[in-house]
Amino acid sequence: MFVGLDQGTTSTRAILFDDDFSVVHEARREFRQIYPKEGWVEHNPEDIWQTVVEVLEECQRVANSRGKKIDVIGITNQRETVVAWDSETKEVLHNAIVWQCRRTAERSSYLRKEYGRVIKEKTGLVVDPYFSATKMEWLIQNVPEVQKAYNKGTLRFGTIDSFLAWKLTGRHVTDYSNASRTMIFNINTLDWDDELLELFGIKREFLPEVVDTAQFIGYTDDGIPVASLVGDQQAALFGQTAFQKGDVKCTLGTGSFILMNTGNEKIYSEHNLLSTVGWKIKDELVYALEGSVFITGTLVNYLIKNLGFAKDSLELTELALQVGNNGGIYFVPALTGLGAPYWDPYARGLIIGLTPGTDKRHIIYAAFEGIAFSVGQLVMLMEKESNIKINALKVDGGVSKNNLIMQILADVVNTVVERPVNRETTALGAASLAAIALGLVTKEKLQEIRKIDRIFTPKQSREEEFNKWKQAVNRALNWES
Ligand SMILES: O=P(O)(O)OC[C@H](O)CO
């Protein structure tokens, strides 16, 4: 049996897969979100570790109860989040600074102006507080314990995969997909970048060794091999068997992450999409083009909880279907600013086009369009920048269950949207990468196993609505300055 350990932003989950990769069990634990100040987000690494221990133990119990054992664990994780610890005392030195944390916004604005181009060329990223580098810099400059370890030479940094690999196996490692999210890793040379390390005051010895995405790392105390570390969005790309250049997946969760496999070619985006490492397995190096939408499932919850429009997403969909169109309403879901291609932290949510004839059903329909249009816009940009016509958009994540949103997405992109039966693609990706590392499965086998639940084919043009929505987005930009 295989375990995909998915250490996410709000919960830690371990999915136990049978030898044919069918899901046997899901263990899940939520943990504390810490908000020390407006816009700051932290996690206590010890809380995270505790949840990891619990979910792994639970999976082991289930495997044992079936007379089986766990053959391998693959770890996938919320990306960019930084943990600092001391290699000598083995103490964690501060709470983890989470990818969502905006504490380095000012520093990032300066860096974007001064070094934006060179950082993008080296790392494939658009300078933003989202990435790890300015978080590490902040820890060095502001936390006395971190400074002490810095001076002693015992400071160690890691993203969550790295922290967990260290806790589980004692090794200080990360993989290429996670390293490429730090903004100090050069995706051309595939090494930590000395100039960037100097810019952020980070020493190479503080950083993990970068290893292949599918590679034996070490054994847990219980003797189970850990054989993959992979960022969660890249894991989902792999779990969707998006193995060919031009394959695209979109995970619609709290937010949406769209990744296109661009093969061994790194695309320099003119529209602020990110270039990142998909995975590296021996001499196979896959780059990906990535776009993120910050608000997706959050908007559905917002309609239910904050606006009280319905009791659940099923009822929301029924209401939207009753009207069947937006009634002239456009909804920009910029509740926490906008990600790609705008990268505007000052944009805010907008509902526009209200008339006396508007009722909540139009607003719901417009919100669904807003979700699909935000994703669709990035998918279309990817087609343009890669010069590849997408054959099928592979979706997963909670919101992909919503048939209406999926249909609008298929319409606006004018592409088939394909939803697999197993929507646990992130954990599946990590588990299958780990199984590949130990020679327990092949990519061909994974393609055979994957089953489609439903295909959405384009039914109507949404061009007019999409263009109007983009006008609405322009009005939502730079609002909260
Ligand atoms: O934990 P998730 O699923 O919200 O994913 C977070 C992403 O990895 C951030 O880059």
Q: Is 103 in the pocket of ligand 1 (CB under 6 A)?
A: no
How is the chain split among helix, strand and coil, in percent rounded to 5? 40, 25, 35
- In contact, 195 and 41? CB cutoff 8 Å: no
Q: Where are the domains of the chain?
A: 2-211, 241-480
Cβ 6 under 6 angstroms from ligand 1:
no
Q: Is the CB of residue 78 below 6 angstroms from any atom belonging to ligand 1?
A: yes
Coil, strand, or helix at residue 289? strand
**With bands split at pLDDT 50, 70 and 90, how would you rate the model's confidence at 131?**
very high
The two three-digit tokens of residue 109, written as one number: 């604005």
Select from 75, 76, 79, 132 the residue to mutate for testing ligand 1; criterion: most ligand atoms less than 8 Å from CB.
79
Q: Which atom of ligand 1 is nearest to the CA of 7?
A: 1
Q: What percent of the chain has pLDDT over 70?
A: 100
Q: How far is the CA of 35 from the centre of ligand 1 (A)?
A: 17
3-class state of residue 384 by DSSP: helix
Q: What pLDDT is recorded for position 469?
A: 98
What pLDDT, in 10s, does the model give residues 390-437? 989 999 998 999 999 999 999 999 999 999 998 889 999 999 999 999
Rounded CA-CA distance 285/212 in Å is 9
**How far is 142 from 235, CA to CA, in rounded Å?**
33
Q: Kindly report the pTM of this predicted structure.
A: 0.92
- Please indicate whether residue 396, judged by its CB atom, sits closer than 6 Å to ligand 1: no
Closest residue to atom 10 of ligand 1, CA basis: 79
Tokens linked to 121: 């060329």
Least confident residue range of 79-83, 114-118, 297-301, 345-349 = 345-349
Of the pLDDT bands very low, low, confident and very high (cuts 50, 70, 90), residue 102 is confident
DSSP per-residue letters across 150-166:
HHHT-EEEEEHHHHHHH
Q: Residue 167 has what pLDDT?
A: 97
Residues paired with residue 371 on neighbouring β-strands, in sequence order: none
Complex ipTM > 0.90: yes
- pLDDT at position 365, please? 98
- How far is the C-alpha of 331 from the C-alpha of 372, rounded, in Å? 11
User: Phi and psi for 332 in degrees, rounded to 5?
Assistant: -100, 115
137-141, 272-276, 327-331, 371-375 — which is least confidently predicted?
272-276
**What crossing angle do the helices spanning 133-142 and 105-123 adopt, rounded to 10°?**
130
Measured in Å, residue 100 CA sits from the centre of ligand 1 at 9
Is any atom of ligand 1 closer than 6 Å to the C-beta of 81?
no
CATH, range 2-211: 3.30.420.40
Spatial CB neighbours of 63, under 8 Å, sequence gap ≥ 6: 1, 16, 24, 69, 70
pLDDT level of residue 271 (50, 70, 90 thresholds): confident
Does residue 180 have its Cβ closer than 6 Å to ligand 1?
A: no
Ligand 1 pocket mutation, candidates 5, 9, 274, 293, criterion most atoms within 8 A of CB: 9
Query: Cβ distance 219 to 65 under 8 Å?
Result: no
Q: Which residues contact 163 (CB under 8 A, 6 or more apart)?
A: 45, 48, 49, 83, 85, 96
Yes or no: say if 229 and 180 are a contact pair by the CB < 8 Å rule. Answer: no
Q: What is the pLDDT of residue 416?
A: 96
Position in ligand 1 atom list of the atom nearest CA 10: 1
Name the residue type at position 450. R
Nearest-angstrom CA–CA distance, 119 and 189? 14
- Whether residue 38 is predicted with pLDDT greater than 90 in this model: the reply is no
Q: If you ran DSSP here, which 8-state letter would residue 245 be given? A: T
Which amino acid is residue 473, in one-letter code?
A: V
Is residue 345 scored above 90 in pLDDT? no
Distance 311 CA to ligand 1 centre (A): 27
333 lines ligand 1 (CB under 6 A): no
The verdict on the CB of residue 254 being under 6 Å from ligand 1 is yes
* DSSP assignment letter at 204: G
What is the CATH T-level fold of the domain 241-480, as seen in this structure?
Answer: Nucleotidyltransferase; domain 5 (3.30.420)
- Name the pLDDT band for 93 (thresholds 50, 70, 90): very high
pLDDT for 339 equals: 85
In this prediction, residue 467 has a pLDDT band, given cuts at 50, 70 and 90, of very high
The encoded tokens of residue 387 equal 């010069």
Q: Compute the residue count for the chain.
A: 481
**Residues 429-463 as b or e (16 or more Cβ within 10 Å = b):** bbbbbbbbbbebbeeeebeeebeeeeebebeeebe
Is the C-beta atom of 233 inside 6 A of ligand 1? yes
**pLDDT of residue 53 exceeding 80:** yes
CA distance 229 to 162: 8
What is the position in ligand 1's atom list of the atom closest to the CA of 232?
Answer: 8
Q: Does 32 score more than 80 pLDDT?
A: yes
Q: Is 8 in the pocket of ligand 1 (CB under 6 A)?
A: yes
Sheet holding 96-97, edge to edge: 42-43, 96-97, 82-86, 155-159
Q: What is the mean pLDDT of residues 251-260?
A: 93
Best residue for ligand 1 mutational test, from 78, 177, 258 (most atoms within 8 Å of Cβ):
78
Ligand 1 mean position to 66 CA, how many Å?
32
185: CA distance to ligand 1 center in Å? Answer: 19
Using CA positions, which residue lies closest to atom 5 of ligand 1? 78
Q: Where are the alpha helices (DSSP H) in 185-241?
A: 194-200, 232-239
| Residue 232 CB less than 6 A away from ligand 1 | yes
- For residues 229 and 77, give the distance between their C-alpha atoms in angstroms, rounded to a whole number: 8
DSSP string, 462-477: -HHHHHHHHHHHHHHT
Please tell me whether the peptide bond between 341 and the residue prior to it is cis, using omega within 30 degrees of 0: yes
Per-residue pLDDT, 272: 87
pLDDT band at 254 (very low <50, low <70, confident <90, very high): confident
The alpha carbon of 30 and the centre of ligand 1 are apart by a number of angstroms equal to 15
What DSSP line would sit under 370-383, residue for residue? Answer: HHHHHHHHHHHHHH
157 lines ligand 1 (CB under 6 A): no
Residue with the nearest Cα to atom 4 of ligand 1?
9
Looking at residue 422, its pLDDT comes to 86
pLDDT of residue 428: 96
d(CA 397, CA 401): 8
Q: Provide the pLDDT for residue 125.
A: 95
Q: What angle do CA 376, 465, 342 make, to 5 degrees?
A: 45
Q: From the CA of 382, how far away is ligand 1's center (Å)?
A: 20
- Closest residue by Cα to residue 408 from 353, 458, 352: 458
Q: Output the pLDDT for position 344.
A: 84
* pLDDT, averaged across the chain: 95
Give the helix/strand (H/E) hosting 407: helix 403-413
